[in-house]
Structure 1
Amino acid sequence: MLKKSYPYYLANKAQTSKQTMDVLDKYSNKRVTRVAVPNAAAVEKAIAAAVKATVPMREFKPWARQAVLQHCADRFSERREEFAYALCVEAGKPIKDATGEVTRLIETFRIAAEESVRLNGETMNLEIAQRLDGYHGYTRRVPLGPVSFITPFNFPLNLVAHKVAPAIAAGCPFVLKPAERTPIGALLIGEILAETDLPKGAFSILTLDGKHASPLVEDPRFKLLSFTGGQIGWDLKARAGHKKVTLELGGNAACIVDGDQAPHLDRVVERLIFGAFYQSGQSCISVQRIYAHDAIYDELKKRLIAATRKLKAGDPKKKDIFLGPMIDEAAAERLYGWIEEARKAGAKLLCGGKHQGAMLDATLMDDVPSAAKVNRLEVFGPFALLARYKKFDDAIAMVNDSDFGLQAGIFTDSLAHAMRAWNELDQGGVIVNDIPSFRVDNMPYGGVKLSGVGKEGVRYAIDDMTEVKLMVMREV
């Protein structure tokens, strides 16, 4: 069960306030709890506290950072069911998937615990000419200082973890703004962080709406802004000033199914269905565009339609439910409108296409015009389109015909095609013989084009939150 109310966290301590924000059960649309909301003075105190914690965090030893991260992982594991239930309610994520996200939360903190004691430098040979005899170079990584984070609603635990855990491992104090529609997971993380020996001011978690989050973007005392969300990220980058910026802004992920996949279609269909409709398609790397070779297109389409129609939708708290609600009714209305627009432009509706409230049927279409929103933009919902190709060159071109480039997938038995996909697709990552929705929490993750700049994945985020410091020593 959820508590009646939750505090925000200011300089490591829980805080209440007169102003609160409701949190809704995304399936019933009823209020289930409320969270305290900080005022502008509290935001300023959080930033000042992070600045004051810069030196203590830098001097907080790697073994101590590791102990904090390991404590969090252990406590998350002990409270697994509580975290999963909160996630199911506040995000509408089916309980099986919510439990899986808690597992990833734990893994991400454990990976960060391991990386916290690996922030090594290197010895450089500077004696590259006679005039440099006796000179030696040494580098080490040092934390940037205070950093700010803004996270989205779709992974309220693990996308918070991918910012918070690397910050602790790197030795950076941080201020986090979780998504206002799904703040509980971040506050539960804060509750456990408050149990640790982190220096005062090492973290603040502020339940702000977007209108009041400007200081996290614009304040020059922050040395890095890490944002995960929509295309508004480019505006935030323009407002961020001189600080480093990491943006993960989504995509319209494509997957190629090569002509040699006839013997493997059962596996291919299983993975495509999961990738397209897992957590109602509300993932930056959800399978949105499926390009299948002409030799297997008709059979793949038939099997995908049959599998999609079998998906069970309903209350995400029930263990047998695969498809829960979208984040709210407005999101479902938006995608329903895009589907109708494509249908009126000549696209063929294969299955789904209906919605009631925040529930939208798992939907497949083919013959989708190139200019349709469901092809050009990020649908962020339970939708996928199918299209056929005859030459592999055409498949590569179809995937690349997008303003986004986060991850792509390809099912093929051809090493040559796998290598060409890796070489030629304009993507941050290429997943061979699986869906683009695949992610492991220690791998580099980030896109190109409108999908963003920079990489997440624990070690890569730590790199962004630290800088190389050089020492040159001359023998005397």
Structure 2
Amino acid sequence: MYVAGEWIGREDATVVSPFDGEPVGTVPEATPAEVERALRAAVAGAAAMRALPGAERTAILRRAADRADAKVEDLARTIARESGKTLTEARGEAGRAGELLRVSAAEGARMHGETLPLDASPGAVGKLGFTLRQPCGVVVAIAPFNFPLLLVLHKVAPALAAGNAVILKPATQTPLTALALTELLVGAGLPDHALQCLTGAGGRLGPLLCRDHRVRKVSFTGSTAVGERIAAVAGVKRLSLELGASCPTLVLADADLDQAARAIATGGYANAGQVCISVQRVLVDRAVHGDLLDALLPQVDAIRPGDPLADGTTMGPLISEDEARRVQTVVAAAGARGARLLTGGERDGALVSPAVVDGVDPSDPLSQDELFGPAIAVTTVDGVAEAIRVANDTSYGLGAGVFTRDIQAALRFVRDVDCGALHVNWTPLWRADPMPYGGLKGSGIGKEGPRYAVQEMTELKAVVFHDVD
């Protein structure tokens, strides 16, 4: 790990491959004293970053982007080995890192305020008002395992671009990619102590970091339960919480069913379904229910689970065998309550074959709770009104999609479905860096995406110039 400008190489914990359990690397387990050391260093780093001109921050991140471009294959193999993601998926993730760094650099460079129309208020004639943005200071970034490079960068890059110091706590299962990124950023010329990377269990380190008064901003991606605990201990500071989901895709009677089936087969099983915006619920109009399944099942059956580093594998394992057992149990339990398992659901170690479960009651845990695994729940509905009602009938609101040729139905969907991102004629599994990314309801608070993350990671000040008598 990297603390106060020093690489610490103790071998306290072993990182293993989810596919075969083989060791991939070792990392330290940060102690409370090392957490305190990181916090003290971050305070100094925040002062150095705040004093750094925007042009210099931009140059550092652009150098880091060039370094990331040169290391795509190395980063991809690290991602695949420690997360279980297929090498194809890992290369896609690693290949986006450089551009995300460049976009973040650009957004940090154009961080600006606005003039205030003070003379619209009585008694304010002749006064000049405007706003300024300044860095928050110390940002704690707590990242998940499922995108160990991109979801780390979506926190770290905007924070640095805005002039903050960052303490990064990567997921326990996937710290090696974050450490490689830390080395890359430090080597690009970051000021001393601008970035720390602490490894160890989130249950131990999270409270120490999140409740500390020197931390002004916490950015967390993970489960709703952990997000609630962070909110309870954080105190008065800025929070961005990207939490759980059970994303619906609506397939209306006039949809292009081949397009819908192709998109669902991608959106439900990418990264073995371990994506917050994965398709979990398919709400299909009763009139086209059978036709959609006829189009969907062959595409799901064509997915090939296996060794993520092997040619021909199109879906890797879940992050652990315990997670695979959990997913298998949830799928089987839905079947025991009357749903029909049409394909998949078998487990081999951490691999679970892609599953389609039909006739799932909207109140079933397979619909209500976040699955984070390779299975979709199919539920029939009668028309757009019922589809929207069922789509909204969970505690989550991250993403949703609809397939329809009817512009009125599409407009009704985007107005009435309570989610942070809405896709017409695609599934929720789609994201571009310029988008604001974040959910409603139990799916969290705050937005990511470089432009919006820069706003979340800065403080807004109002300035008023008064006449001198």
Same fold, TM exceeding 0.5? yes
Counterparts of 2:369 and 2:419 in 1: how far apart (Å)?
Answer: 16
TM-score (norm 1): 0.96
Aligned to 1:240: 234
Paired residues in the alignment total 466
Is contact 1:94-1:319 (8 Å) kept? Answer: no
Aligned to 1:470: 462
Identity among equivalent pairs (%): 38
Structure 1: gaps of 5 or more residues = 1-7
- The alpha carbon displacement at 1:131 in A equals 3.0
Match among 34, 42, 45 for residue 50 of structure 1: 42
| Mapping for residues 341-420 of structure 1, pairs under 5 Å | 341-420=333-412
Aligned to 2:327: 335
- The alpha carbon displacement at 1:324 in A equals 0.8
Counterparts of 1:164 and 1:11 in 2: how far apart (Å)?
Answer: 17
Is contact 1:144-1:223 (8 Å) kept? Answer: yes
Counterparts of 2:292 and 2:143 in 1: how far apart (Å)?
Answer: 36
- The alpha carbon displacement at 1:81 in A equals 0.2
Counterparts of 1:112 and 1:210 in 2: how far apart (Å)?
Answer: 26
SS in 2 for 1:316: coil
Q: Aligned pair 1:10/2:3, yes or no?
A: yes
The more displaced of 313-322 and 422-431 is 313-322
Compared CA separation, residues 474 and 359, structure 1 to 2 (3 A): same
Counterparts of 2:16 and 2:277 in 1: how far apart (Å)?
Answer: 26
Q: Aligned pair 1:174/2:162, yes or no?
A: no
Match among 260, 270, 276 for residue 254 of structure 2: 260
Match among 183, 188, 207 for residue 191 of structure 1: 183
SS in 1 for 2:401: strand
Counterparts of 1:168 and 1:13 in 2: how far apart (Å)?
Answer: 19
Is contact 1:341-1:372 (8 Å) kept? Answer: no
Cα-Cα RMSD: 1.3
Q: Aligned pair 1:68/2:60, yes or no?
A: yes
SS in 1 for 2:133: strand
The more displaced of 465-474 and 355-364 is 465-474
SS in 2 for 1:364: strand
Aligned to 1:317: 309
Q: Aligned pair 1:109/2:101, yes or no?
A: yes
Structure 2: gaps of 5 or more residues = none
Compared CA separation, residues 458 and 129, structure 1 to 2 (3 A): closer
Aligned to 2:217: 224
SS in 2 for 1:194: helix
Counterparts of 2:30 and 2:283 in 1: how far apart (Å)?
Answer: 48
1:361-408, Cα deviation, whole Å (9 max, x unpaired)? 100011113332211100000000112222210000010111110000
SS in 2 for 1:132: coil
Counterparts of 2:362 and 2:262 in 1: how far apart (Å)?
Answer: 26
- What code does the residue aligned with 1:216 have? L
Is contact 1:107-1:441 (8 Å) kept? Answer: no
Is contact 1:12-1:193 (8 Å) kept? Answer: no
1:405-449, Cα deviation, whole Å (9 max, x unpaired)? 000001111111111111100111111111101111221011111
Aligned to 1:39: 31
SS in 2 for 1:330: helix
Aligned to 1:4: none
Counterparts of 2:466 and 2:275 in 1: how far apart (Å)?
Answer: 53
Aligned to 1:59: 51
Is contact 2:28-2:200 (8 Å) kept? Answer: no
Match among 400, 410, 418 for residue 426 of structure 1: 418
Counterparts of 1:123 and 1:243 in 2: how far apart (Å)?
Answer: 26
- The alpha carbon displacement at 1:181 in A equals 0.5
- The alpha carbon displacement at 1:307 in A equals 1.2
Is contact 2:362-2:379 (8 Å) kept? Answer: no
1:130-169, Cα deviation, whole Å (9 max, x unpaired)? 6322201011111111111111110100110010001111
